């Protein structure tokens, strides 16, 4: 049980994690590159990576130590330029390793999450890509439609739960209902087989303001506002 933190201003390569049981912070090895606002993803599965295979780490370490992988990609440089290169931290080696960069036409990475053995990232250019952790390269994801309808958004956020991929974002009621200027959170699920988006009905109390923060666990995503948890119970179905 770890939560990871990276600085939110200026470029920095320091990484810390908090033990959610003891609520104590601990430093990790620094990233190779300084950046601000990188997109990060983490998995605790025993996933094989090209580096692990080359150094025979999986066969020698499985069953002995529970490992995790932490991926950082994108962010901004010292001159506020978008960054496309990424790196991955392996707890077995306690080292950061370069990974393949995002395509330069992808746009600035805005959100990401690990789902299975893939690290999904969406961009400010309304594009979606996935980094295959086991094979070590990026795949462009062509969904239908490209992104969910009425995608007039602010900071769309990807999240995963039980092998399912979701996108949550802010939409204007004026677009959805033809009147009003309030903003609400909208939730979609991407079918990973046919790559189509499904609009998931919101909880009746889910008309939230700009202060909403979204978390995900292995069981269900939650929306938190001022200490009030609104749970999407329908995500547990199927």
Per the document, the length of the chain is 238
Total structural domains in the chain?
Answer: 1
Task: For 110-148, write each residue's pLDDT tens digit.
Answer: 899 999 999 999 988 888 999 999 999 999 999 877 677
Residue 62 CA to chain centroid, in angstroms? 26
Q: Which of 115, 224, 113, 229 is nearest to 162 (CA)?
A: 115
Q: Which two tokens stand for residue 18?
A: 């908090």
Residue 128 CA to chain centroid, in angstroms? 12
At 45 the pLDDT is 62
Q: Find all residues with CB under 8 Å of 38, minimum gap 6, and list them.
A: 6, 72, 73, 74, 75, 83, 109
Residue 31 lies in a domain: no
Residue 127 lies in a domain: no
173-181: average pLDDT: 53
Backbone φ, ψ for residue 153 (5° rounding): -125, 170
Distance CA 100, CA 40 (A): 15
Residue 49 lies in a domain: no
Residue 235 lies in a domain: yes
**What are the distances in angstroms from CA 146 to CA 120, 124, 128, 195, 224?**
15, 13, 8, 10, 28
Give 228 or 49, the one with higher predicted confidence: 49
Residue 55 lies in a domain: no
Q: Find all residues with CB under 8 Å of 158, minimum gap 6, and list them.
A: 111, 112, 113, 120, 121, 122, 165, 166, 167
The whole model's pTM is what?
0.77
Residue 223 lies in a domain: yes
Residue 199 lies in a domain: yes
Domain that holds residue 148: 142-238
Q: Tokens 């999986």, residue?
A: 58
User: Which range has the worst mean pLDDT, 39-43, 49-53, 151-155, 174-178?
Assistant: 174-178
21-38: average pLDDT: 92
Residue 50 lies in a domain: no
Q: Tokens 């995900």, residue?
A: 216
């Amino acid at each position: 049980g770890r939560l990871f933190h990276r600085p939110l201003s200026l470029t920095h390569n320091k990484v810390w994690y908090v033990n959610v049981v003891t609520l104590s912070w601990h430093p990790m090895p620094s990233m190779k590159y300084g950046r601000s606002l990188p997109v990060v993803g983490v998995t605790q599965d025993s996933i094989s990576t090209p580096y692990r295979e080359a150094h025979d780490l999986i066969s020698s370490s499985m069953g002995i130590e529970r490992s995790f992988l932490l991926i950082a990609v994108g962010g901004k440089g010292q001159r506020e330029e978008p960054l496309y290169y990424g790196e991955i931290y392996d707890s077995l080696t306690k080292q950061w390793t370069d990974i393949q960069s995002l395509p330069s036409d992808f746009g600035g990475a805005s959100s990401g999450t690990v789902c299975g053995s893939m690290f999904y990232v969406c961009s400010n250019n309304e594009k979606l890509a996935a980094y295959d952790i086991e094979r070590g390269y990026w795949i462009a994801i062509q969904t239908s439609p490209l992104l969910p309808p009425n995608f007039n958004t602010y900071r769309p956020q990807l999240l995963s739960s039980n092998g399912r991929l979701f996108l949550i974002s802010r939409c204007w009621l004026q677009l959805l209902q033809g009147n009003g200027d309030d903003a609400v959170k909208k939730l979609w699920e991407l079918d990973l087989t046919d790559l189509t988006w499904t609009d998931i009905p919101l909880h009746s109390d889910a008309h939230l303001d700009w202060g909403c923060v979204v978390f995900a666990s292995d069981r269900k995503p939650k929306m938190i506002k001022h200490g009030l948890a609104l749970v999407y119970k329908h995500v547990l179905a199927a």
